[in-house]
Structure 1
Amino acid sequence: MCDNTTAALPAERAVTLVLGSASPRRQELLAQLGVVPDDIRAPDIDEDPHPGELPRPYCIRIAREKVQAIAAADNEIVLCADTTVALGRRIMGKPRDAGEAAEFLLALSGRRHRVFTAVAVRCGDRIWERCVESRVKMKPLSDAELNAYLASNDWRGKAGGYGIQGPAGAFIPWIAGSFSAIVGLPLPETAALLQAAGYPLYRSDT
């Protein structure tokens, strides 16, 4: 039921898209492609890094495990992603509390770091995946800036303790790579994966 064979499915078995993420940011990014998921099913997996695991392999593994964890019918395409902030070999996930968010931001302050976003698309037993790496520079943060940002609670649910698309965008003077990937979903790569899996991305309804 995957690949181009989906074009031959009868209407009652037409391919549908399941987004394996409760992130409103990823829904907004998909909307830029003209895509509205037919269902949202957030996976429940252990996202702790393995001992000695490096950021890029970790990010790819988590996206893959997410997409494998979601039960789906044979006419459903499942899309999952993971975004990981890395300072050197250190993996910075979503902070557990304001104290950890402050620790992350102080470590990133005035330095360059990497942001990995891995996307995994599954249809049946097949998985298509890509990982995009971007580099980001955060300006040195003053105590006032750090405290105000922590008080805003915008750090909640954000890898590395910040979101470039929100107030923390004022802390980021330079990036190299994909802005949409830093937010949570690299648009060109996501579009290519969906098409590879047979999702009618640019379907023209008449």
Structure 2
Amino acid sequence: MPRRSAALTRTRILEAATTTFKAQGFARTSVREIAAAAEADPALVIRHFGSKELLFLEAMRAGIGPRTVADVPLPQLGRRFVAELLDGDVDTRGVFLALLRGSDTTEIGRRLRSVHEEEFVTPLRTRMTGPDAELRARLAAALVGGLLYSLWVVGDEDLLAADHAQIVERYGALLQELLTPTEPTSRRR
């Protein structure tokens, strides 16, 4: 059998890890399993990535959400973001679930918090105005997290079967109200 280059071996290990982690999560995946899928020695997995946890973080680097946060005008973001989540690809779901399942380990928990802050809260906050923009950005992230939890963790069958247009309209309106309130918060009671 011809010898593979180190770069090719690393790429194959990373591809095998990404697929396996998305399907099984962090805890249920072993280094030996990844090595077998990559047709590599388990020692090479550790040599290339240092540990299973570091390999996981590299494999899940893709992020967990649509890139719409920075790309869509703020007044249209609520509905558009919800629509993209509902129509999202299997990869986004797999990354989200893998990160969530592994979040009890220190580095993976840090990565999940980092993704939350860097890919959602901070980009939103920089686009929002008002004295309570920080709070509204965090509430928006919590609202989106609730939808992901219901769809992908709990697997709410009624919600999964519901008309996407109706979910986009209703849930998107809730998200939009946090992003661009129709009434100044100082007047609310």
TM-score category by the smaller chain? under 0.3
Larger Rg: 2
Structure with more strand by fraction: 1
TM-score after normalising by structure 1 = 0.23
